[in-house]
Structure 1
Amino acid sequence: MKTKEISKSTLQRLPAYLNYLKTLSPRETPNISATALAAVLGLGEVQVRKDLASVSLSAGKPKTGYSVCSLIKEIEEYLGYNNIKDAVIIGAGKMGTALLNYSGFAQYGFNIVAAFDINVTEDGGEKGKKIFPLSKFGNLCKRLNIKIGIITAPASAAQEVCDLMVANNILAVWNFAPIHLNVPEHILLHNENMAVSLAILSKHLKENLKKSKKHL
């Protein structure tokens, strides 16, 4: 399928479509309409049609809708979920270890092969996922041609860790450390800022509580 350029907001909605479609039984629900998807996910019907048109080769048919199986395949192909992508973690604390052992990434074509930590002196880990000394990072990345790095190290060490990843040909960095990182222009950096997420949740909750009090 030819890749189309889509907006960031559309890209963020695609996993929601995919997750819902995968809950449907192909035998019981072989097709689904944009109207039905919009209703279930609380989105506008026009928006859903535009989103699906950006990744689907065929438009939904009147009274029939989209083939669920075909739509799943097309969204997975667009997002790259059908191609396993290997990644490594630097920072084997509680968060790093939890991500390392999380099996759910596989359904998104994502595979964390190992973690590294400065405090590890010998190979360790469980469930087949190893935790290595940081000194082995460069060799493993080169040997396995790793291009995705995840940072769960403390904020004080995050920039140094990021620089190490860039120096070892990592092209995409998923950063969980609560700090701004500087990367070259060709590096894709995504910050998973939990403080921002909590601030949004808190503000939303505060506004809802105010509205509730007004109705009392």
Structure 2
Amino acid sequence: MAEKEVPHIVISRLPIYLRALTLCIGEDREIISSQELGKMLGISPAQIRKDLSHFGEFGKQGTGYDVKYLREQLRRILKADREWEMALVGAGDLGRAIVLHYGRFKEQGFHIVAVFDKDPRKIGKRLDRFEILDSKLMSKIVKEKGIQIAIIAVPASEAQKVADTLVKAGVKGLLNYAPVTIHVPPGIRVQYIDPVVHLQRITYYL
């Protein structure tokens, strides 16, 4: 089934299933039922089966899912079975925190290959293993390396301009940490990470 026919909410749950299956492999589990997976994740077994049915048949009734096989199929569907090169824009406190957690990105096939900042006091210095590059070189380097994913870790006032430059250079996916909505052309994917938004969703229920 074509990607456009699958609801976005379904796609958003697939990485959660993948993470759970990876944990199961670490526990040497070979088979898992939708009931067991649902109990782990707080998602109904019927919802899990419906989500997976968008992509084919992966289990047998009364038997469950082969953990390794389903994990590999989800990796294929999410294109997580390949290596992805990324750019990081913003070498401030947030960018530094992202780099400190770089190991987890790398383990999952996401490799930061360029870090950019416009602050002349930072350009040329190192952020862990990465040399901080001048943002003026961003378009050129992104094009040369064929980078398709970028992380935006700049102030809100700069995020749209950065996004525009990245998209024009060929980036197709943006992970935006700036607390602002950015506008992109059709076909460009943006994911937002704003802890305050999530905290406000929590406080509504308190």
Scaled to the shorter chain, the TM-score interval is 0.7 to 0.9
Deviation string 1:162-207 (CA, Å, 9 cap, x unpaired) is 2222232222222211122232234323332333212112223x1x
Residue identity matched to 1:77: R
Unmatched runs of 5 consecutive residues or more in structure 1: 207-216
Query: How many angstroms does 1:126 deviate by?
Result: 4.4
In the alignment, is the contact (CA less than 8 A) between 2:58 and 2:70 conserved in 1?
Answer: no
With over 3 angstroms needed to count, the CA separation of the structure-2 counterparts of 1:202 and 1:115, relative to structure 1, is same
Per the TM alignment, residue 27 of structure 1 is displaced from its structure 2 partner at its CA by: 8.3
Q: How many residues align?
A: 203
Structure 2: gaps (5+ residues): none
Note if contact 1:120-1:131 (Cα within 8 Å) is conserved in structure 2: no
- Contact conserved, 2:86 with 2:111, CA < 8 A, in 1? yes
- The TM-score, its normalising length taken from structure 1, stands at 0.83
Equivalent-residue separation in structure 1 for 2:188 and 2:8 (angstroms): 18
Specify the structure having the higher radius of gyration (Cα). Answer: 1
Post-superposition offset of 1:34:
0.9
Moved over 3 A (4+): 2-5, 25-28
Give the secondary structure class of the aligned counterpart of 1:179. coil
Percent of aligned positions that are identical: 30
The Cα of 1:66 is off from its aligned counterpart by: 1.0
Counterpart-to-counterpart distance in 1, 2:124 and 2:10 = 41
Q: CA deviation at 1:125?
A: 2.2
Partner of 2:50: 50
Q: CA deviation at 1:3?
A: 5.3
**CA distance in structure 2 between the aligned counterparts of 1:3 and 1:105, rounded to whole angstroms:** 27
* Most deviating of 163-172 and 122-131: 122-131
Post-superposition offset of 1:136: 2.2
C-alpha contact (below 8 Å) 2:32/2:66 kept by paired residues: yes
The equivalent of 1:72 in structure 2 is 71
Aligned to 1:212: none
Check the 8 A contact 1:88/1:114 in 2, yes or no: yes
CA spacing shift, 1:27–1:168, aligned 2, 3 Å: closer
Aligned-residue CA RMSD (Å): 2.2
Matched residue, 2:115: 115
Contact 2:91/2:127 (8 A) holds in 1:
no
Q: Which is further off, 152-161 or 180-189?
A: 180-189
* In structure 2, distance between residues paired with 1:139 and 1:197: 35
